[in-house]
Structure formats: C-alpha cells, structure tokens
A and B are shown apart, each in its own frame.
Chain A
Amino acid sequence: MAFEPVLSRNVGHPEALTVRGYRDRGGYVALEKGLKMEPAAITEEVKASGLRGRGGAGFPTGLKWTFIPKDSPKPKYLVCNADESEPGTFKDRLLMEKDPHQLIEGCLLTSFAVGAATTYIYIRGEYVDAANILERAIADAYQSGILGANVMGSGFRHDIYVHRGAGAYICGEETGLLESLEGKRGQPRVKPPFPAVVGAFGCPTVINNVETICCVPHIIERGSAWFKAIGPDERNTGPKLYAVSGHVERPGTYELPIGVTFQELLDVCGGIWKGRQLKAYVPGGASAPVLSADDRHLRLDFDTMAKAGSMLGSAAVMVMDDTTDMVRVCYRFAKFFSHESCGQCTPCREGTNWLTLLLHRILDGHGEPKDLDLIVSVANQIGGNSLCALGDAAVGPAKSFVTKFRHEFLARMGAAAPALAS
C-alpha cells in the first residue's frame, strides 16, 4: 500500500532529534506559519480537518478546544496525555522517542490556538527513554528560542514541562491525570465540571493525546483539505498509527490512512504467524470488545468499529491466532482492570473484582454454565453506572469474550486449564 508517512516520517532519521535536524527535515514550518495566524483560525482549521482524538474516545479535537471559556481571567493550560497505558498501545512512545520536536511543535500550535502559556506533558513513568529524549528536545528548543518568553520572535510565551507518572492506568483518564499532576492520589473527578472549565489547578485546560497533538502541525502546514482527503469519509480523517501486537509475523507500529481494513493491516504486518489462522482480534486496546475472524474485513475507523459493537480506541490491535485460549485472555484482561480500578466508586471497585474472581474460577475448571450469565449480568451492572470510563472499559472485554466465545468457556467447565501454549 503506497502511503507516504506523515506522523512517522522522521522515524529512521535520528538527526530529527535536534532542532536543527528537525528543521532540516521541514520541521517548525507549521509553527512559523501558525504564529502568524489568528489563534481562532488555527482552531477553525483543525475543526475543518475532521481530526478526532487519538487517545481513544475519538472526540472532535477542534470542538474540544472551543470549550475553553474565552472570558476566564485564569491561566489556561494544555495537558498532553502521554500516559499511554492502555494494554497493547505503544504508538505515542514511537512519536516521543523518534520525533519529539513534532510533539513540541504540536503543543505550541495547540497552546497558541487556545491561549495556553504552559504545557504539561504527563508521561507514563515506564517511558524513561521517551521522557529523557523529550526533556533533551525541550532544552534544545529553549536554547533555539522555540520555547520560552518569545517563541520564534512572535511575542508568544510558552513553557513545557514533562511530568512523569508513577504507573497507574487510571492516570490516563483525563481527570485522574489532572489529580495526579496536581500531586494528589490519581483518581478521576466527578464531571461536570469538565476540564475545559475546571482542569489543572482549577483552571481551564485542554487535554489531548500525543498523536492528536502531532497531527496539528501537519494540518496547519498542508491545510485541512489535505488532511480530510485521507481516510474513508468525512468523519474519519487523517493518518493513523496502528500498534499491532500478538500473533502476526511483524508486530509493530504502522502508519496508514485511518480506515484501512483489518485484513489490509494484517497483510502489511505479514499475516498471522507460523502459518496459523486468525481467531480473533481486539481493535483498540484491552478495553475494546473483541471481534472475531469474521470481522476481518471491517474498516479500522471510529464509526465502523462502533457500529460493530467495539471501538477504535487507541488503535492498539491485538491479534490472536487459532491456538489462543480465550478464557485465559478474558481473565487476564479482567484482572488488569480490577487491579487498575482506583477503588473510589462502588460498581468498578466491587464489580471488576467480582468478574476477576468468577473468571478465575472458570479458568480453574470450577465454573458452571450459569456463571456465564452471571458475568454478563455483573458486567451490565457496572456498565454505565461507574464514575469514570474504567468501569465501562472493563465491561467490554468481559461481555464480548463470554458471548462470542461462549463455547470455549463451556468447554472449560469441569476441566482444568491447559498449560500455556508457547
């Protein structure tokens, strides 16, 4: 498939890690252009591009920026969500490690558009290399006059701080992230008020994912029409990073137009490994409901995935071959969510734990057929009732695995778990 990489164009070009090298490869042109535009015009351009949030929810990015109150006397903040903790997801890591200035440029343009003088990049603690690379790039940008009191001589002031997380999935949830950023226990806040009104330190705050922000310079440089032309339709536009893991010949991060089909993506990755057959795939990280081999021709975009009862999420595609033990996968996912539940709201705290216990019993061969109905019922009791999206995230895999692969669960009743396949 012929597709000129956009977001990952500097991958394989380590010279782009410096300001000079990045500029040599065409960087900071968008910033120069953007700083001469009206801030509102940047927002309009992003709105027109159809860019939707790449963190998982797919909310229109330009629209999100307009929620920042214009008349607030408080400082405004941009928070870049680089927590990337959805299981299976490693696309933002690539962007930060291989092209940090693209992110810095995106942060500057976004901040200029919304009037923020400060960006916090909240990065997961495990990304030590990425954080170090970012910090070096930020120091370089300060030296080069790209950050600081006078960004590229425009009079716009901007500072970027890298804030390292301490290893909690819930700190990728935007309000949990804000609490953690403020030095508190990372647990989500009640919404409303939304972060656009009351965000970091009580001030209006835009929170965008790394990949989302990295799209912005390209939209400004090449125009919204160019961006919009990529992708299958008006609602799903632009280049997209797919983080492919699991039973494929060549796992990795692939940049393709949004809306390629799963089969096309699979072909790019060299197909299922060891000559085996596809059993199932998860299209958007652990919280996306599983799809079966029959769904291989579906387009990997926001709306197609939602229609299929799953979600594009972070586009972390986990591929499972025909030897995969679906009961064990389901249990592992459930265990992850119960371990990462912050514990403040009743359905998520108690419900995810209950699901894990039930699945563990089935995995051990002590399940009963009625337990499957109980799993669905408990999942339904969590779904829609929890304080934040983590509860809903835990429900998706549990329900989809149990309903779509019910026969595998039933086969496990009364039979102990086989040893892990290699």
Chain B
Amino acid sequence: MPTVTINDRAVEVEVGTNLIDAALKVGVQIPHYCYHPRLSVVGQCRMCLVHIAGMPKLQAGCSTQVMKDGMVVRTDTPEVHEAQRAMMEFLLINHPLDCPICDQAGECGLQDYAFKHGVATSRFHYEEKRTYPQKERIPLGPTVLLNMNRCIQCTRCIRFTHEVAKTAELGFFQRGARTEIGTFPGKPLDNELSTCVVDICPVGALTSTEFRFAERVWYLDKKPSICTGCDVGCNITLEHRRGQVRRLKPRFNPDVNDYWMCDYGRGSHQRLTALPRLQIPQIARKGGALPAATWREALDLVARRLEHGNASGAVAFLGSGRLSTEDAFLLATLADQVASPHRSVAGREGPERRIPNTHGGLAGRDTAPNRRGAELAGLVPGPSGIDARALLAADRAADCSVLFVADSDFGPEASEPATVERLRKAGFLVVMGWAETPLSKVADVVLPVATPAERAGSFVNVAGRLQTFAQAFPAPAQVKTPVEVLTEILARFDAAWAGLTEAQVFDRLAARVPAFSGVRFEAVPATGRPVGAEPALAATVAGGGEP
C-alpha cells in the first residue's frame, strides 16, 4: 500500500484512497461540502483544496487519489487557508444568513466552517444578494422542503437520489449564479429514503417536514439507539428533549444501514406519543373496573396465578418482536418454570423496507425489530404448544387458564375487537406493555413497562446481527423495565433471578442458548455482531450491486 505524507505525518493507505479520507487517518480534517463517502466525487465545492508538492495549483482533496508512494500533502499552508477563506466568502455573499430562524442552525456546515475557516467581515457591501423569489419553502415531496436561498449547490441531494435511492427525482436547473435544485414536473421527491437528503444537506436548504421548527437542535439530547420500525435494525441517533423524542437520524453502520434509514423508520417514534401510555399497575375488579394497584400486589397475583394455572388449563405466553432478546429469554424462562410449551411470538410481515449498505442492502419484512432474537432466545412453542396463530386466528385462548401477553402493542391485532375478544376468553389475562390498547383495557392485570427508548437491551436483525442499545432517557416514575418486571416475577419462583440487570440477563442467556454462546453483552461491538445461524439467514440479504 502506498504511503502519503500529510502535514509531516506519513500514513499508509489503500491505492485509490482520496486525500480527505487519507487525512482523517492522521487526524487531519480537510473541510468539504460536496464530498460524501458514498456519493460520486464531483469536486464542486472547492473547500477541500490542498497543497501537493510539485503541483502548480492547489488540488481538490476529494478528487485526488493516492496511487503511489511519495505524495506530500499540506493542508496548513497560507495558500490553503486563503483558498478556504475565499470559498467561505463566495458561499456566504449570497447566503441569507437567516440562522436565527433556520432549523439547521447549530448543526450547519456553513456555520461551522465560517467560524473555523472564514472571516467575520464582509466585502459584499452594495450589491444585492441573489435570491430565488417564491422559492423559500418548496415542498419537494411529502417529507422534504427546499429553501433555495440557503442552498450552496453541493449536489449531494441530487447525487443521493441518482446513486443511492436510484430514483433520480432531483436535478440541477438553470446555470451560473442562478443554478438551482429542483424536481422534474410531476415527479415529486417521494421514495422510501427521501428524508436522507435532509441528513446529507450540509446547510438548511433541505428540511424535513416532520422536524421543521420542532426544536432548536442544541436543546436535543442525542443517544445512540436502534430503530424499531422493522427487522433491519437501522442504527440511529435518538434525539429527545426531556424524554420527548423529536427526531431519529441514521447512525453510520456499514454492515446494516450505512449512512441511511427509511422514512417509515424515521417516523416510527411518533407511535410513542400517538398511543396513550400505561402509567401504573392495575388489577381488575368485578364489573370491569381496572383500578390502580401496587407493583407488589400485581406481581404477587401474577406469580400465584402462573404457579397454579396448570391445574385448570394451559398457561400460555404470547411474546412479541418488540421485546428485547433479554425480555424474550426471561419470558421463556418463566414458561420453563411452569413447564409450559405454550410460548410464541406474535407478529406479521409488512411491506418490504430496503436499506442500502456496503454489502448491497438489507430488506426488512417484519413490522417488529426483534422477532428473530425473541425466537432464538426461546420463544418457540414446544410439542403441541399453543402458538400465536392458534391464539390470534383460532380460539385457543379459551383453553388457557392464564394468558400472559408480554406486549400490549404486539401488532395491529392488539387493537382489533375480534382479537381482543378472542384473547379475553383466557381464564386470567395478564397484559404487560407501555401502550394502552383495547387489549390492555380488558386485562385482569396490567403491568406498565418502559418503551425501548427508556431501557437497554438487544435486538437480532433480519440478517442475524445482534445489536445492543442503551437507555436514552428514564421511564416515568411508576413504570418498570420489562426486565425488572420479569425478573421480579421469576424471583418469586427462584430468588437467584432477583435484581439482574439487562447485561446480566443477557449473559445468562448466552450461557444457555447456543446461538449466543460466548457473547457478552458489554462486549458486543457498537456496530453489532452476527449470532446464530447467520449463513442461512444471509439469504435474506437483498441482491448485490454497488452500494
């Protein structure tokens, strides 16, 4: 591999590495707007100009590749600084400088580089700024708005639609200083990945209709998390203010979602506010009332019913793909405890969600993020076990003395009157979950738990990749995590389960389930790791092609 010297530091890089990427290896940031590692190199913004020994002019770092030994690059000469200052001046003379009302303020490439590479004074005194009248808020499609006055013509969005989404809705129109971004007549920007153009827009030209004016970004707490929209398990940054989720953004993971996520997943947090919240444990009284109870009363009652349920019928456990792997393992352990084969995962296939990544892409089908993990963790019916289909489509709940539904919002069926009536035929109905649904309203015991954002855990995605996530913000006071609830029930059978954390539960799972053998919760890499029979699952990886 050739060696390149950047600001006196030598680094070995792959043949063909561009100077922006090579410089990062020695900790040197070369400023850039138009360059994006997953888009074609166009050399348009000219912010990445660097000095290369032996070259008469400055060269664009994005389009200069290291092909052989001996290239000597400087990013800190007066000429380079002068060029950067010049480009910032050019970009700002016609920029509206409307930061106080711009959603991008605080995470804006123009702001950042203006501070770092620009000067605070203007030489554009008398001339009028170029504006694009009537183009301050053009809906490009259902999810993205364009303010042409803020655009710096970097064409990242255009190239994204051509090269990643492959839908090619956006194009360059006009030329020279009148150049603008736009859609073609009758062809709005409307594809599954469309909001990604907002992520890659370095300025406030493209804003998302969802997040627009929702929050100033500096008030947001940003936590790494996993999208719960489907079983691709896109890595995301969950951005909230005091527990109110404002925005989900993709977090780079080349093996899962690369730099992208779909619009459906991006909007999946709206479910957290769309459904009413279960706040406190409840135990049903005669006549249908569902008054509040203490956790001790509720958990004592559930444990007692589970223990004695076998005497009068089946004791069944209905899991969900929205449970974490740890929850599913605890639920399966509870079923073991009462020797019940009646355990399964509810869920249904939804529309395919394709996310491009460096291996071609992943196609999610399940509407929940962790059906695979829940099944691997043991939520599969034993011999003649009553499974989800039997409970939801047939009338087998009537055979159950106790039915423990571990997710009040296990799917759209949880709100369908026919299904609710069917499940209600169980002798004793326990419903755990964070959302109040028609099902939770008819339960004998309601156990309110944390949302995925309020707890830690792990999911296994469609390709068999185990990914962990941390708590983004705490749950309301009276609400426990599913792991707390399930370990406290288990502790009533076996005190050894008392007080285990998610990580400790996972380590017990790893000790017991071969698919997770040797995996430690704390040691799962940030980008996840494959578990179980991955080669077989690899078949679900959508066809090849360039990223």
List residues of chain A with CB under 8 Å of any chain B CB. Answer: 168, 170, 185, 187, 190, 192, 338-347, 349-354, 357-358, 361, 366, 374, 377, 381, 384-387
Type the 1/0 row for B93-110, where 1 means its CB is closer than 8 Å to any CB of A.
110000000000000000
**Size bin of chain B's contact surface:** 35 or more
Asked whether, in the complex, the Cβ of A343 is within 8 Å of the Cβ of B46, the reply is no
B174 close to chain A: CB less than 8 A: yes
Asked whether, in the complex, the Cβ of B174 is within 8 Å of the Cβ of A343, the reply is yes
Chain B residues within an 8 Å CB radius of A344: 42, 44, 153, 155, 172, 179
The complex places the Cα of A194 from the Cα of B175 at a distance, in Å, of 24
Question: Which of chain B's residues has its CB closest to A381's CB?
Answer: B86
**Residue of A339, A345, A386 with most chain B CB atoms under a 10 A cut-off:** A345
| Residue from B41, B57, B126, B153 in contact with A349 in the complex, judged by beta carbons closer than 8 Å | B153
The complex places the Cα of A185 from the Cα of B49 at a distance, in Å, of 25
B201 close to chain A: CB less than 8 A: no
New A-B contacts (19) at CB < 8 Å, excluding given A338-B176, A366-B126, A385-B49: A185-B171, A185-B172, A342-B175, A344-B179, A345-B43, A346-B45, A346-B90, A346-B152, A349-B176, A353-B94, A353-B130, A353-B176, A374-B123, A384-B57, A384-B58, A385-B46, A387-B43, A387-B44, A387-B60
The complex places the Cα of A344 from the Cα of B83 at a distance, in Å, of 17
Chain B residues within an 8 Å CB radius of A339: 176
The complex places the Cα of A190 from the Cα of B155 at a distance, in Å, of 14
B63 close to chain A: CB less than 8 A: yes
The complex places the Cα of A340 from the Cα of B179 at a distance, in Å, of 11
B274 close to chain A: CB less than 8 A: no
Known pairs A353-B177, A381-B86, A385-B86; A345 contacts B46 (CB<8 A): yes
Chain A residues within an 8 Å CB radius of B126: 361, 366
| Residue from A185, A345, A374, A384 in contact with B45 in the complex, judged by beta carbons closer than 8 Å | A345
Q: What's the minimum C-beta distance from A147 to chain B, rounded to whole angstroms?
A: 36
Chain B residues within an 8 Å CB radius of A358: 127
| Residue from B42, B43, B177 in contact with A338 in the complex, judged by beta carbons closer than 8 Å | B177
Residues 130 to 172 of chain B near chain A (Cβ within 8 Å): 130, 152-153, 155, 171-172
The complex places the Cα of A231 from the Cα of B413 at a distance, in Å, of 89
Chain A residues within an 8 Å CB radius of B42: 190, 344
Chain A residues within an 8 Å CB radius of B407: none
Q: What's the minimum C-beta distance from A2 to chain B, rounded to whole angstroms?
A: 41
Q: What's the minimum C-beta distance from A311 to chain B, rounded to whole angstroms?
A: 16
The complex places the Cα of A116 from the Cα of B174 at a distance, in Å, of 35
| Residue from B43, B86, B174 in contact with A190 in the complex, judged by beta carbons closer than 8 Å | B43
Q: What's the minimum C-beta distance from B195 to chain A, rounded to whole angstroms?
A: 25
B91 close to chain A: CB less than 8 A: yes
Asked whether, in the complex, the Cβ of A381 is within 8 Å of the Cβ of B46, the reply is no
Chain A residues within an 8 Å CB radius of B491: none
Asked whether, in the complex, the Cβ of B87 is within 8 Å of the Cβ of A343, the reply is no
5 residue pairs from A and B, CB less than 8 Å apart: A340-B175, A343-B172, A343-B174, A350-B177, A385-B57
Residues 161 to 211 of chain B near chain A (Cβ within 8 Å): 171-172, 174-179
List residues of chain B with CB under 8 Å of any chain A CB. Answer: 41-47, 49, 57-58, 60, 63, 83, 86-87, 89-91, 93-94, 123-124, 126-128, 130, 152-153, 155, 171-172, 174-179
The complex places the Cα of A174 from the Cα of B88 at a distance, in Å, of 28
Q: What's the minimum C-beta distance from B64 to chain A, rounded to whole angstroms?
A: 9
Asked whether, in the complex, the Cβ of A385 is within 8 Å of the Cβ of B44, the reply is no
The complex places the Cα of A351 from the Cα of B83 at a distance, in Å, of 13
Question: Which of chain B's residues has its CB closest to A373's CB?
Answer: B123
Q: What's the minimum C-beta distance from B316 to chain A, rounded to whole angstroms?
A: 62
8 A-B pairs closest in CB distance: A343-B179, A353-B177, A381-B86, A350-B90, A341-B176, A190-B43, A357-B127, A190-B63
Question: Which of chain A's residues has its CB closest to B56's CB?
Answer: A384
The complex places the Cα of A386 from the Cα of B86 at a distance, in Å, of 12
The complex places the Cα of A26 from the Cα of B529 at a distance, in Å, of 77
Chain B residues within an 8 Å CB radius of A377: 123
Chain B residues within an 8 Å CB radius of A341: 175-177
Chain B residues within an 8 Å CB radius of A374: 123
The complex places the Cα of A236 from the Cα of B60 at a distance, in Å, of 33
Q: What's the minimum C-beta distance from A185 to chain B, rounded to whole angstroms?
A: 6
Q: What's the minimum C-beta distance from B62 to chain A, rounded to whole angstroms?
A: 8
Asked whether, in the complex, the Cβ of B179 is within 8 Å of the Cβ of A346, the reply is no
| Residue from B43, B46, B127, B152 in contact with A361 in the complex, judged by beta carbons closer than 8 Å | B127
Asked whether, in the complex, the Cβ of A387 is within 8 Å of the Cβ of B178, the reply is no
Question: Which of chain A's residues has its CB closest to B67's CB?
Answer: A192
Asked whether, in the complex, the Cβ of A385 is within 8 Å of the Cβ of B58, the reply is yes
The complex places the Cα of A385 from the Cα of B44 at a distance, in Å, of 10
Q: What's the minimum C-beta distance from A128 to chain B, rounded to whole angstroms?
A: 23
Chain A residues within an 8 Å CB radius of B128: 357
**Residue of B128, B130, B176, B179 with most chain A CB atoms under a 10 A cut-off:** B176
The complex places the Cα of A361 from the Cα of B128 at a distance, in Å, of 11
Known pairs A361-B127, A384-B57; A346 contacts B177 (CB<8 A): no
Q: What's the minimum C-beta distance from B291 to chain A, rounded to whole angstroms?
A: 67
Chain B residues within an 8 Å CB radius of A357: 127-128
The complex places the Cα of A387 from the Cα of B175 at a distance, in Å, of 15
Asked whether, in the complex, the Cβ of B46 is within 8 Å of the Cβ of A387, the reply is yes
The complex places the Cα of A140 from the Cα of B127 at a distance, in Å, of 56
